C-alpha cells in the first residue's frame, strides 16, 4: 500500500471469528458466505440483518512495519505467539465530533453509545510485505499477540 503514514485512516476486513493462528485462516473466514439473514417487521417497517463472517472496519494507523518475505511468513503463521511489536498497542478511539463525549458514560447514555458505535476506529499496526505489497492491519487490543487481524486494507 503506497503513501501510508502513521495517523492515516484506513479500512480493513476483520473476521468475526478472531484469534486465528494464521493469515490463511483469517482469509478463509472472510471469504465465507453470509450465514444467516433475519427479516423483522415493525409495523410498516421491514428490517433485514445479514450476519456474515466479517466486517469492514475503520482503523487509524498507529505504527507501520515493512517486512521481508521471510519475516512476513513468520509473522503471518504465528499470530497467537507473543510478539514485542504488538505490546501495548491497539484498541479503539472515538472519531466523532461530540466535544462532550465521555467513554465512562457509555453504559448510562444510550445516545452517546449510539454515537460511539457509529464513530469509532480500531488503532492498528500495519504490516506490509515489502516484496508483494500485501498489507494487513493488526489490532492486539493491548495484548502481546495479534488478537484481531484485518485483511484487504484500503485507504
Q: Where are the domains of the chain?
A: 9-154
Query: What phi, psi does 88 have (nearest 5°)?
Result: 55, 30
Q: State how beta strands 135-139 and 45-51 pair.
A: unpaired
Mean pLDDT, to the nearest integer, of 69-92? 93
Q: What is the pLDDT of residues 89-148, one digit of tens each?
A: 998 888 887 777 777 766 777 777 777 777 889 999 999 999 999 999 999 999 999 999
Q: Which of helix, strand or coil describes residue 50? A: strand
Q: What is the pLDDT of residue 27?
A: 94
Q: Which of helix, strand or coil describes residue 25? A: helix
Encode burial over 99-137: b for 16+ CB neighbours within 10 A, e otherwise. Answer: eeeeeeebeeeeebeebbeeebbbbbbbbbbeeeebbbb
Q: What is the pLDDT of residue 7?
A: 93
Mean pLDDT, to the nearest integer, of 79-85? 93
Q: Which residue has the cell 472472510?
A: 30
Give, in order, the Cα–Cα distances in Å from 101 to each of 8, 20, 32.
Answer: 22, 34, 37
Higher pLDDT, 65 or 119: 65
Rounded to the nearest integer, the mean pLDDT of the chain is: 87
Amino acid at each position: 500500500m503506497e503513501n501510508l503514514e502513521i495517523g492515516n485512516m484506513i479500512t480493513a476486513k476483520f473476521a468475526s471469528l478472531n484469534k486465528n493462528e494464521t493469515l490463511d485462516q483469517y482469509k478463509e473466514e472472510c471469504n465465507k458466505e453470509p450465514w444467516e439473514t433475519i427479516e423483522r417487521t415493525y409495523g410498516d417497517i421491514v428490517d433485514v440483518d445479514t450476519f456474515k463472517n466479517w466486517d469492514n472496519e475503520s482503523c487509524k494507523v498507529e505504527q507501520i512495519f515493512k517486512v521481508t518475505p521471510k519475516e512476513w511468513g513468520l509473522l503471518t503463521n504465528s499470530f497467537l505467539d507473543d510478539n514485542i511489536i504488538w505490546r501495548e498497542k491497539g484498541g479503539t478511539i472515538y472519531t466523532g465530533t461530540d466535544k462532550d463525549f465521555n467513554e465512562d458514560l457509555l453504559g448510562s447514555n444510550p445516545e452517546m453509545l449510539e454515537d460511539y458505535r457509529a464513530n469509532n476506529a480500531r488503532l492498528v499496526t500495519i504490516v506490509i510485505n515489502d516484496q508483494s505489497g500485501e498489507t494487513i492491519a493488526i489490532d492486539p487490543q493491548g495484548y502481546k499477540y495479534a488478537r484481531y487481524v484485518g485483511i484487504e486494507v484500503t485507504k
